[in-house]
């Protein structure tokens, strides 16, 4: 029995959310469109693991030692296997099952599967939106036959062996005696038609492996680890069948200056002690160009100053933006010239003559100031 936890790289105690995140990461890593066709089996294994571990009922079965997707592989599946066999015979009796009376030929045209790709964007693109580019390897429509799979616009012809039925009747012996059953026609593989002269480019499949560049519209305010869906941009199906959807996983690269918290941007600014005391206007680089930040007189370390509306565009209210919050760090000078030291001593004499120090279990609040969160709240108004 495959260890599905190991396949997804999570512990047995992993939460639903952790399993989901691990699955997204693994499915991206091993998706054949990204990793290459040789990872097809690994990709299936990852999907199988997620199918079981994301379903509470299946997960419970699995944790008890039964693989719900592959009961034969686990302990008490013998009985179930016998049941399946019985079901088949009933199916043939009552007209169910593969290729029995009433089922038509298998269409040559099949819907295409979904495809997956990945883009990384910078924080600026997440704030304002934009277009990201990626290239995907997937099936595209055959350019020579346009999906028909035939040469020179020929049409598939009725299969002479099954007369277009797609299956052939056979007599089989079962424990209930001789029975008529049907199996797909060998000559047309169940299609009921044959292509006499297959297109040389796609060998009759109507589709070919292609590399395609895709422009992905990134909505402003997108969050890290989002998945976008591009309808009908996925894999073209057999026989030129309608394309599946293309999913794009979007990750936002960390920015060297700003971190993001919801719709707000945060940065830390180191300022000299004199600016903190006297106040100062400085220019800072924002995603909207240079903006002036006014440090008020008597600014304390960890004070937060907000520039309203310079944060991230709100995903669900595109005309609104979060704030940009600058956190102050007051830099205490460590090397003073003789003159500076003299001035500092004079300052201390004037200002700190009756200063006293306090010890306590928690950080004391500077006089007339609120705690950090109160100050951020004030800053944001």
Return contacts of 225-234, CB within 8 angstroms, 24+ apart.
225/21, 225/24, 225/249, 225/250, 225/251, 226/250, 227/24, 233/115, 234/112, 234/113, 234/114, 234/115, 234/138
Q: Is 201 an interacting residue with respect to Zn ion (CB under 5 A)?
A: yes
Residue count, binding to Zn ion (CB under 5 A): 6
Residue from 121, 127, 202, 293 touching Zn ion (CB under 5 A): that is 202
| Residue in this structure with the two tokens 């944790």, named with its chain if needed | 63
Q: Are 264 and 312 in contact (CB under 8 A)?
A: yes
Residue 333 CA, distance from chain mean position: 47
Q: Which is nearer to Zn ion, 145 or 236 (CB)?
A: 145
Q: Are strands 207-218 and 130-141 parallel, antiparallel or unpaired?
A: antiparallel
CB of 204 to Zn ion, least distance (A): 7
**How many alpha carbons lie under 13 Å from residue 119 in its C-beta half-sphere?**
28
When asked if residue 236 is in the footprint of Zn ion (CB under 5 A), the reply is no
Q: Could you tell me which residues are beta bridge partners of residue 306?
A: 325
**CB 243: neighbour CB atoms within 10 A?**
24
Pick the piece of the chain touching Zn ion (CB under 5 A) from 115-123, 201-209, 293-301, 306-314.
Answer: 201-209
Shorter beta-carbon distance to Zn ion: residue 1 or 157: 157
Question: Of the ranges 82-90, 108-116, 120-128, 202-210, which one interacts with Zn ion (CB under 5 A)?
Answer: 202-210
Which one of residues 136, 141, 142, 299 is an interface residue with Zn ion (CB under 5 A)?
142
Site map 342..371 versus Zn ion, x via CB under 5 A = ------------------------------
- Binding positions for Zn ion, 294-313, rule CB under 5 A: none
What dihedral angle (degrees, nearest 10) is formed by the CA atoms of 301, 302, 304, 310?
Answer: 110
Region binding Zn ion by CB under 5 A among candidate stretches 26-34, 188-196, 198-206, 311-319 = 198-206
Is 343 in a helix, a strand, or coil?
Answer: helix
Whether 158 and 164 have beta carbons less than 8 Å apart is answered as: yes
Choose the stretch contacting Zn ion; rule: CB under 5 A; options: 194-202, 237-245, 299-307, 321-329: 194-202
Binding-site member from 8, 34, 199, 330 for Zn ion (CB under 5 A): 199
Task: Please calculate the CA angle 100-105-106 and round it to the nearest 5 degrees.
Answer: 110
Nearer to Zn ion, 163 or 197 (CB): 197
296 touches 279 (CB < 8 A):
yes
CA angle 282/287/291 to nearest 5° reads 25
Q: Which window, 134-142, 240-248, 260-268, 350-358, contacts Zn ion (CB under 5 A)?
A: 134-142
What's the CA gap between 258 and 284, in Å, rounded? 12
In this complex, which beta carbon is closest to Zn ion, that of residue 154 or of residue 302? 154
Nearer to Zn ion, 127 or 236 (CB): 236
Interaction of residue 145 with Zn ion, rule CB under 5 A: yes
Residue 61 and residue 68 in contact, taking contact as beta carbons nearer than 8 Å: yes
- In the chain, % helix, strand, coil (3-state, to 5) comes to 30, 30, 45
> Shortest Cβ distance from residue 152 to Zn ion (Å)?
11
Does position 154 interact with Zn ion (CB under 5 A)? The reply is no
- 195 sits near Zn ion (criterion: CB under 5 A): no
Q: Which stretch binds Zn ion (CB under 5 A): 46-54, 60-68, 142-150, 342-350?
A: 142-150
CB of 175 to Zn ion, least distance (A): 47
Residue 188 beta carbon to Zn ion: minimum distance, rounded to whole angstroms: 18
Instruction: Spell out, one character per residue from 94 to 133, where the chain touches Zn ion: x when CB under 5 A holds, - when not.
Output: ----------------------------------------
Residue selected from 51, 114, 144, 224 as contacting Zn ion according to rule CB under 5 A = 144
The contact set with Zn ion (CB under 5 A) reads: 142, 144-145, 199, 201-202
């Amino acid at each position: 029995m495959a260890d599905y936890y190991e396949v997804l790289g999570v512990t047995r105690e992993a939460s639903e959310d952790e399993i989901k995140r691990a699955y997204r990461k693994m499915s991206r890593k091993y998706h054949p469109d990204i990793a290459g066709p040789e990872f097809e089996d690994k990709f299936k294994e990852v999907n199988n693991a997620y199918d079981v571990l994301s379903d509470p009922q299946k997960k419970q079965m699995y944790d008890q030692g039964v693989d719900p997707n592959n009961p034969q592989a686990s302990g008490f599946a013998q009985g179930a296997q016998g049941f399946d066999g019985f079901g088949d015979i009933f199916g043939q009796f009552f007209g169910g099952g593969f290729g029995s009376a009433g089922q038509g030929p298998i269409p040559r045209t099949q819907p295409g599967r979904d495809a997956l790709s990945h883009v990384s964007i910078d924080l600026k693109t997440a704030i304002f939106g934009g277009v990201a580019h990626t290239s995907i390897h997937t099936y595209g429509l055959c350019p020579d036959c346009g999906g028909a799979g035939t040469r020179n616009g020929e049409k598939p012809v009725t299969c002479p062996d099954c007369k277009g039925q797609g299956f052939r009747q056979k007599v089989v012996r079962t424990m209930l005696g001789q029975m008529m059953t049907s199996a797909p026609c060998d000559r047309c593989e169940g299609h009921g038609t044959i292509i006499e002269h297959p297109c040389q480019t796609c060998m009759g499949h109507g589709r070919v492996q292609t590399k395609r560049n895709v422009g992905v519209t990134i909505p402003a305010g997108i969050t890290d680890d989002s998945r976008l869906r591009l309808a009908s941009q996925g894999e073209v199906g057999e026989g030129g069948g309608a394309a599946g959807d293309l999913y794009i996983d979007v990750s936002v690269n960390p920015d060297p200056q700003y971190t993001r918290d919801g719709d707000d941007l945060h940065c830390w600014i180191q300022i000299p002690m004199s600016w903190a005391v006297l106040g100062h206007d400085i220019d800072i680089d924002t995603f909207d160009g240079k903006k002036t930040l006014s440090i008020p007189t008597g600014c304390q370390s960890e004070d937060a100053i907000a520039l309203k509306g310079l944060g991230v565009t709100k995903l669900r209210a595109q005309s609104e933006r979060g704030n940009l919050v600058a956190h102050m760090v007051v830099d205490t000078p460590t090397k003073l010239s003789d003159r500076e030291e003299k001035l500092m001593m004079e300052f201390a004499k004037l200002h700190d003559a009756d200063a006293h120090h306090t010890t306590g279990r928690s950080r004391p609040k500077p006089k007339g100031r609120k705690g950090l969160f109160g100050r951020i709240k004030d800053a944001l108004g």
